Amino acid sequence: MSFPKILHRYFLLSLALALCLPLHAQTRRRTSRQPEPKVKVSELLQRYAFDEVIAAIDNGKADCTGAEANQIAATARLGADMLNATEKVTVLESRIVPLVDLLNHLPLRGSCAKWESMEQWKAKLNPLPVKLGKVVCINDLRDRIWFAAADSAGKGMGLWTSFLRSEGWSRPIPLPGLQGNGQNRDCPFVMQDGMTVFYAASGEGSLGGTDIFVTRYDPSSRTFLKPESKGMPFCSLDDDFFYAVDETNQLGWFVSNRGCGKDSVRVFTFVPNEEREVVEASDDDMENTVAFATLSNVKLTQSNTEVVKEGRARLEKLLQHPGGTKQSVKRTYVVSDNRIYHSLEEFASPAAKRIAQEADATIDKLAHLLTERDVIQRTYAAGQRHENIRKRLTELNEAVKETKNHLRELEKNYRKAELQQTN
């Protein structure tokens, strides 16, 4: 073979090797590349990294798909909205207590409503609902209760009320607007106005297992307004329930199982805000925002030392006096055209003072009769026209008429007795 042919053959062989080597290297690189690990969105969710959860699911990088991914994404979006609107609340203390002894660690005193275990009320409810909640909320006069029971639509747990009558507690009446809608409600607490209701619920609008909601009665529509979540820090990814406010002592409590074992819960004592103030959320300091939202560090909420000092003083005074103090109700006593009293102590006549006290009690009685009548009328208008409801409505109309007449007679008598004493 001639030298030129050998050289030509060598050239072709070298060229082939040069072309094959890069392809072989590329093949090796392709086969050695590892797939990107999936993002564990459940772990991000527990860290309140809601935006990262949403991004991972939207970009297909989450470790879940389908219905599970959709559910987690919905929770993350709700959580992100709540986090950005976290209320700035001053928390005085946080204590872990046994679940079985919880009610003894909620020092509701004076004129605010109280909670009592449902077990001690079952014998008093007639008829007894098939399914009941954990507690009964009872007003200061102990003549009206609120509680949770299987709702009238059979689609969850609704809120009900009952009034004390001479023959015992009335047939339970459903609170309009607080039935069905896929929510399981429990632990109602009613403010002193008798119109504002807090309760715990799972289901629609809930971030964790159970969240805290608030609603108010609308006299014009004769129903409760659409409930709103209390948001963070009162709601979390855990179970949150038992929200109460003592308006007289300007103190509030709510209960959560965040950071607790199976048989214990955490009781937070806080100072209610007169106006809602939101924690300033910042991407640069999201850790601080999350700490406020989860109350993982209660000291972060105690920046206003004066509010903390005064709140702790009220709490200490409340705990030292178990009986509490009743909020005084402002009364007006018209004795004559030019003489109006604002206190029983202004009466000079003992007889007039005694009659005025009876008039005060009659005013309270009339208010409760009117409230019960309003509830019964709503029930009747909603189509529940049972004979016992019609009968009770007739009784209430007559009782309201008699009570008003009695009140007018008492007012006339205390005026007469006071004028005889002072003229």
Please tell me whether the overall predicted TM-score, pTM, comes out greater than 0.85 for this model.
Answer: no
Per-residue burial over 384-408, b if 16 or more Cβ lie within 10 Å, else e, is eeeeebeebbeebeebbeebeeebe
Task: Assign 329 a pLDDT band (cuts: 50, 70, 90).
Answer: low
Alpha-carbon distance of 423 to 418, in angstroms, equals 8
Is residue 369 within a helix (H) or strand (E), and if so which, with residue range? helix 350-381
Question: Is it the case that residue 340 has pLDDT exceeding 70?
Answer: yes
Question: Is it the case that residue 161 has pLDDT exceeding 90?
Answer: yes
Alpha-carbon distance of 119 to 71, in angstroms, equals 36
What pLDDT is recorded for position 20?
Answer: 52
What pLDDT is recorded for position 4?
Answer: 52
Question: Is it the case that residue 394 has pLDDT exceeding 60?
Answer: yes
Question: Is it the case that residue 388 has pLDDT exceeding 90?
Answer: no
Higher pLDDT, residue 134 or 33: 134
What pLDDT is recorded for position 34?
Answer: 65
Q: Kindly state the tokens that stand for 258.
A: 């965040």
Domain regions of the chain by residue span:
37-84, 87-320, 333-422
With tokens 């948001």, the residue in question is 231
Task: Assign 327 a pLDDT band (cuts: 50, 70, 90).
Answer: very low
Mean pLDDT of 109-138: 89
Task: Assign 154 a pLDDT band (cuts: 50, 70, 90).
Answer: low
DSSP 199: E
Mean pLDDT of 360-370: 81
Mean pLDDT of 360-387: 73
Is residue 81 within a helix (H) or strand (E), and if so which, with residue range? helix 66-84
What pLDDT is recorded for position 250?
Answer: 93
Alpha-carbon distance of 374 to 194, in angstroms, equals 12
Which range (17-31, 93-107, 150-164, 295-309) has the least confidence? 17-31
Question: Is it the case that residue 334 has pLDDT exceeding 60?
Answer: yes
What pLDDT is recorded for position 315?
Answer: 92
3-state secondary structure string, 154-193? CCCEEEEEEEEECCEECCCEECCCCCCCCCEEEEEEECCC
Task: Assign 30 a pLDDT band (cuts: 50, 70, 90).
Answer: low
Question: Is it the case that residue 264 has pLDDT exceeding 80?
Answer: yes
With tokens 């429990």, the residue in question is 186
Question: Is it the case that residue 379 has pLDDT exceeding 70?
Answer: no
Alpha-carbon distance of 355 to 201, in angstroms, equals 46
Its sign, for the CA torsion 270, 273, 278, 284, is negative
Q: Are 200 and 240 in contact (CB under 8 A)?
A: yes
What pLDDT is recorded for position 199?
Answer: 97
What pLDDT is recorded for position 3?
Answer: 47
Is residue 137 within a helix (H) or strand (E), and if so which, with residue range? strand 132-138
What pLDDT is recorded for position 283?
Answer: 64
Higher pLDDT, residue 375 or 279: 279
What pLDDT is recorded for position 319?
Answer: 87
Task: Assign 12 a pLDDT band (cuts: 50, 70, 90).
Answer: low
Alpha-carbon distance of 279 to 273, in angstroms, equals 13
Higher pLDDT, residue 389 or 62: 62
Question: Is it the case that residue 293 has pLDDT exceeding 70?
Answer: yes
With tokens 């007559």, the residue in question is 398
Question: Is it the case that residue 275 has pLDDT exceeding 50?
Answer: yes
At 306-325, the pLDDT tens digits run: 999 999 999 998 888 755 44
Highest mean pLDDT among 19-23, 177-181, 404-408: 404-408
Question: Is it the case that residue 71 has pLDDT exceeding 70?
Answer: yes
Question: Is it the case that residue 17 has pLDDT exceeding 70?
Answer: no
At 165-224, the pLDDT tens digits run: 877 898 899 999 998 777 899 999 999 888 899 999 998 889 978 999 999 998 888 899
The mean pLDDT value of the chain amounts to 84
Higher pLDDT, residue 27 or 335: 335
DSSP 343: S
